[in-house]
Amino acid sequence: MKFFLDTADLAEIEEANSWGALAGVTTNPTLYSRIGGKLDDFHGHIKKICDIVGEDCPVSAESVAMTRDEIVADGRVLAAIASNVVVKVPTCIEGLAATRALADEGIRVNMTLCFSVPQAILAARAGARYISPFIGRFDDISEDGLDQVQQIVQAIGNYDFTDNTVNGEQVEIIAASIRSANHVTQCALFGADIATVPFNVMKKLVKHPLTDAGIEAFLNDWEKVK
Ligand code: G3P
């Protein structure tokens, strides 16, 4: 499983990128507004993220247009920012149509706000390079978000979508709306391709109390043998 960082905060991206295990970044309008971002600066901000992580790391930038033509126009502009930009498009009829058009132009799409197996299969057939089912938001309505994402991973794995995607690349599932370390553990156990993780959860993934205790014991014992 690969780790993406779910944030628009440049300092968080720089820090997580320095750990050596970051494979991509996902942003959305909520995350951009949370750092005080303004619409006029949005494209420049995405460029800064792309520059930090480098061209091998996909950076999802969301289109908030609502019609297929507007999403396609928006997507072309976003994709022109850098070669690693992935256009994030919501899973809906206009989004599917736009995804097909963008994929046919060689532009990679991350279909987001996916909450069911049929939505995920339609996204893959429409040419999405990534599909983002949400865990936490499903939990928020008293459903089992992990179970839903597991079903989507299994269903997508049943078929070959390479005829549908840009350059025949394999579609990958990004487990999103992750709220805890356990979400990440379960995603790895059922084989999600990617987990996109907020920085506060990412920090928790590195830590374990027994690791901390072990380091402290080693340091103490090292003092004794000095
Ligand atoms: O990548 C989607 C994610 O940012 C949504 O997370 O916590 O707002 O449901 P959340």
Note the pLDDT tens digit of each residue in 87-105. Answer: 999 999 999 999 999 999 9
Nearest residue by C-alpha to atom 5 in ligand 1: 177
Closest Cα to atom 1, ligand 1: which residue?
A: 176
Distance 145 CA to ligand 1 centre (A): 12
Enter the tokens of residue 30: 């909520």
Q: Is 138 helix (H, G, I), strand (E, B) or coil?
A: helix
The pLDDT, as a whole number, for residue 195 is 98
- Residue to mutate (ligand 1; options 5, 27, 31; most atoms within 8 A of CB): 31
Which residues form the pocket of ligand 1, taking CB atoms under 6 Å from any ligand atom?
Answer: 6, 26, 28, 132, 134, 136-137, 176-177, 196
Closest C-alpha residue for ligand 1 atom 3 = 177
**Using CA atoms, how far apart are residues 110 and 175, in angstroms rounded to an integer?**
12
Within the chain, how many helices (H) and strands (E) appear? 11, 8
pLDDT of residue 213: 97
- By annotation, the residues acting in catalysis are 88
The whole-model pTM stands at 0.95
The pLDDT of residue 226 is 87
pLDDT tens by residue, 129-153: 999 999 999 999 999 999 999 999 9
Cα(66) to centroid(ligand 1), Å: 20
**Parallel, antiparallel or unpaired: strands 22-26 and 130-133:** unpaired
Ligand 1 centre and the CA of 107: distance in Å?
23
Instruction: For residue range 162-216, list pLDDT tens digits in order.
Output: 999 999 999 999 999 999 999 999 999 999 999 999 999 999 999 999 999 999 9
9, 27, 30, best to mutate for ligand 1 pocket (most atoms within 8 Å of CB):
30
Helix (H, G, I), strand (E, B) or coil at 136: helix
Which residue has the CA at smallest separation from atom 4 of ligand 1?
177
What spacing in Å lies between the alpha carbon of 135 and ligand 1's midpoint?
Answer: 9
Distance 146 CA to ligand 1 centre (A): 14
Rounded Cα distance, 145 and 123, in Å: 19
